[in-house]
Amino acid sequence: MKRFLFAMACLLLVQPPTTARQTRHLQVDDIFQLESVSDPRVSPDGAWIAYAVSRLDREKDARDTDIYMVPFGGGGPIRLTTGEKPERSPRWSPDGRYLAFLANRDETETQVWLLDRRGGEATKLTDYKGGVSSFAWSPDGTRLAVVATDPDPDEVKKKDKDDKDKAPKPIVVRRLYFKRDGTGYLDEFRNHVHVFDVAKRTTTQVTAGPYDDESPAWSPDGRSIAFVSNRTEEPDSNDNTDIFVVPATGGEARRVTMSPSAEADPVFTPDGASLVYSVGGDPKDVWYSTNNIALVPVTGGTPKILTAGVDRNLSGLEIAADGAAVLFLIEDRGHSHLAKVPIAGGPLERIVGGEREVTQFDLGPKGLIALVESTLERPAEISTVGQNGVLTRVTKTNDEFLAGLRLARTERFTARSADGTMIDGFLTRPPDAPAGTKLPTILRIHGGPVSQYSAAFELEWQMLAAHGYAVVAANPRGSSGRGRDFSHAIWADWGNKDYEDVMAAVDHVVASGVADPERLGVGGWSYGGILTNYVITKTTRFKAAISGASEVNYLANYGHDHYLREWEAELGLPWERTDLWISLSPFFKAPKVKTPTLVLCGQEDWNVPLINSEQLYQALRRLGVPTELVIYPGQGHGIVRPSYQKDRYERYLAWYDRYLRGKS
């Protein structure tokens, strides 16, 4: 018996515990396991953080979102909602007794619901027939500033009579800008600000007119509400939003800002004397410009630019409780960081930096900060900010699931483009790739074009790498994070400099010995699909391509997609600059394409309409290039139905496998 026990003890020393997790590679079905964390809100006493968690429900084939809270100092999370419909936008009442959120639990329009922290079920607070898109508590907690859509009297009558099977009424279009992806045809029912009395459950509409009003912000004394609106003579013809202030009891709205740029995100200073807000760049630059943060007296006047010379995109501003500084997110060279500037003037200071992407934050009492941050190795979670920007993670939503996976490693690099411009790139290798082995490699291109890949967890890269592919990605010219001139470099010249830049990234990975030059694939979604179309008309180096939700024949888009203003600003009117519209369109270079190309799009995509994918497919099919067209019914630009998301990943892998690995 002693010899037996000694032998067993030795065996235990050399074998792992039976409870050890067995790691594996990421699989497509794992999209139903990963959860998304967002919208942190610190309670008024600083003890809790409320937040939202989203997940894909396989059985219902829908995305669900619930509200949770976690102790600010760390601890187990508490789930607050369990409704079958998504619940989002948690907002604490100023006294911390209530948590309000948005939901459409009863199959009607989205409304504000109220949860008493002392216990009990959430109750529906508002009943706006057109639905609620956002809200904000008044400083004393007695009222809400609500953005609600004007009700359509015919639709209200239809619901009252329960004649939902009756033929829909004809769509009548009168607006210049008349459609939007995810919304459909735009009618003349607008979004306006209402003040809702929480105790009496009564409402007063405080803005009106043929304009959309948004982003309500209360003055510290609760007497006024600042909001954003475009009240030019023809709002559909420009992006000239301004900051207005209206009495909380109703009355005439007073315009505070006067520039032709897009102003947004107003916040009152603690003394109520001024407003801090975001101001866009030159309107002629459309999306290629960067923005700034400005300060203006609430009575109007000359604004003071607080971030002059920063030349980066800034977002999500909040004012510190002492009124001394403005905090915001800054996009910079493949990162998104938390920064601040003094309201009195002074240099920008980064509060949270490093290899990460900060996407949201919230300020609590006594300088407490909670934020959502992701890294290349980990999906987004909530962290608190300590001294010197030290982060303490307080949610571990995906930790248990990720512990069973061998994830791929992503590294950053820089590559020199054809004209000497240095380009930021990312390389993700398969988890178990043998050193020195040349790998089938896929160039993935981001959308936008004014967007960026960042130091955040990229599920798509991980999915492809888990399947044995190296993934190369880059932020070519046109991307954000490098200033206005870097973005503007592709103005009316798509598919040239940005093509050279992404190819430089590929060449770098080939030269490093990672990528097999005979097994290269390319693909992307939105502008990533558009640049893919340029790539396959310019080179035959790629053996497989995937063009997702792309544009190909620009003449077909004018008046059909929702980019009226942007088309006219960058390319001019198609009947005046027809040669430019045609020369930029990859459709007319289709005979140069030899790469087998998978084409995908949502059936109801009005951002980049399906007609582009259909024409690209038809051209390639007619020319004898191997191709398939996949259309997702009922989907817009973003594919939201979980079963379709799974299908898309499976098709990506199958297409690349077929043409880069010879698998049927």
Distance CA 543, CA 663 (A): 13
The amino acid at 627: T
Pull the structure tokens for residue 453: 């890949």
Whether 14 shows a pLDDT value over 80: the answer reads: no
- DSSP structure string for 86-147: -EEEEEE-TTSSEEEEEE-TTSSS-EEEEEETTSS--EE----TT-EEEEEE-TTSSEEEEE
- Residue 426 DSSP SS3: strand
Collapsing DSSP to helix, strand or coil, 499 comes out as helix
**Whole-angstrom Cα distance, residue 410 to residue 445?**
16
Query: What percent of the chain has a predicted confidence (pLDDT) above 90?
Result: 87
- How many helices (DSSP H) and strands (DSSP E) are in the chain? 11, 38
Query: H or E element: which one contains 214?
Result: strand 213-218
Q: Quick one: pLDDT at residue 108? A: 80
Q: How confident is the model at residue 158 (pLDDT cuts 50, 70, 90)?
A: low
pLDDT > 60? residue 61: yes
- pLDDT given at position 5: 35
Region 37-65: mean pLDDT is 97
State the pLDDT at residue 488.
Answer: 98
11 pLDDT more than 50: no
Yes or no: say if 610 and 639 are a contact pair by the CB < 8 Å rule. Answer: no
Looking from the CA of 456 toward its CB, the CA atoms found within 13 Å total 22
Long-range contacts, stretch 567-576, CB < 8 angstroms, 24+ apart:
569/284, 569/286, 570/286, 570/491, 570/492, 571/492
What is the rounded distance in angstroms from the CA atom of residue 201 to the CA atom of residue 111?
13
C-alpha to C-alpha distance for 105 and 82, rounded to whole angstroms: 10
In angstroms, what CA-CA distances link 330 with 357, 358, 359, 392, 492? 10, 9, 10, 21, 27
**Can you tell me the distance from the alpha carbon of 140 to that of 136, in angstroms, rounded to the nearest whole number?**
12
List the beta bridge partners of residue 53.
Answer: 37, 66
Q: 253-260: long-range contacts (C-beta < 8 A, 24 or more apart)?
A: 253/207, 253/227, 253/229, 254/300, 255/231, 255/300, 256/226, 256/296, 256/298, 256/299, 256/300, 257/296, 257/300, 257/303, 258/300, 259/303
Pick the range with the lowest mean pLDDT from 172-186, 197-211, 224-238.
Answer: 172-186
Q: pTM of the full predicted structure?
A: 0.93
The string of DSSP codes covering 436-447 is T--EEEEEEE-S
Eight-class DSSP state of 468: T
**pLDDT tens sequence across 95-133:** 999 999 999 987 789 999 999 988 788 999 999 999 999
Query: Could you tell me if 511 and 416 are in contact, meaning their C-beta atoms sit under 8 angstroms apart?
Result: no
The span from the CA of 336 to the CA of 451, in Å, is: 12
Name the 3-class secondary structure at 285: helix
> Averaged over 191-213, what is the pLDDT?
97
Cβ atoms of 323 and 271 within 8 Å: the answer is yes
Query: CB of 358 within 8 A of CB of 375?
Result: no
Domain spans, the chain: 406-660
Contacts of 555 (CB under 8 A, 6+ apart): 574, 578, 581, 582, 585
pLDDT at 162: 59
Token look-up 């009424």 returns 169
Condensed to tens digits (0 to 9), the pLDDT of residues 323-338 reads: 999 999 999 999 999 9
As a whole-number percent, the residues of the chain with pLDDT over 70 amount to 95
Provide the edge-to-edge strand list for the sheet that holds 62-71. 36-42, 48-57, 62-71, 78-79
Q: Order the strands of the 224-229 sheet from edge to edge.
A: 213-218, 224-229, 242-247, 254-255
Determine the pLDDT at residue 154. Answer: 73
Cβ–Cβ under 8 Å, residues 416 and 501: no
pLDDT on residue 159: 59
Please say whether the beta carbons of 245 and 226 come within 8 A: yes
| Residue 549 CA, distance from chain mean position | 17
Q: 396 near 381, Cβ under 8 Å?
A: yes
What are residue 100's DSSP bridge partners?
91, 114
Average predicted confidence (pLDDT) for the chain: 93
Q: What's the 3-state SS for 41-68?
A: EECCCCCEEEEEEEEEECCCCEEEEEEE
Of residues 287, 139, 150, 281, the one with CA closest to residue 216: 139
Indicate if the pLDDT at residue 245 is higher than 70.
Answer: yes
Whole-angstrom CA distances from 447 to 22, 379, 452, 526, 638 are 36, 20, 8, 5, 12
Least confident of 17-26, 352-361, 406-415, 539-548: 17-26
Mean of the pLDDT values across residues 315-322?
95
Structural contact between residues 455 and 356, judged by C-beta atoms closer than 8 angstroms: yes
Residue 503 and residue 306: Cα distance in Å, rounded?
A: 38
Over 573-638, what HEC string results?
Answer: CCCCCHHHHHHHCHHHHHHHCCCCEEEEEECCCCCCCHHHHHHHHHHHHHHCCCEEEEEECCCCCC
Phi first, then psi: what are they for 409, rounded to 5°? -100, 135
Amino acid at site 376: L
Burial 201-240 (b: 16+ CB within 10 A, else e): eebeebbeeebbbbbbbbbeebebbbbbbbbeeebeebbb
Count of other CB atoms within 10 angstroms of residue 435: 6
Residue closest to 24 by CA, chosen among 519, 557, 407: 407
> pLDDT tens, 450-467?
999 999 999 999 999 999
CATH number of 406-660: 3.40.50.1820
Residue 659 has pLDDT above 60, yes or no: yes
pLDDT of residue 161: 57
User: b/e map of 517-553 (b: 16 or more CB within 10 Å)?
Assistant: eebbbbbbbbbbbbbbbbbbbbbebbbbbbbbbbbbb
Instruction: Answer for the pair 471, 459: CB distance below 8 angstroms, yes or no.
Output: no
What residues contact 592, with CB distance under 8 A and at least 6 apart?
A: 537, 538
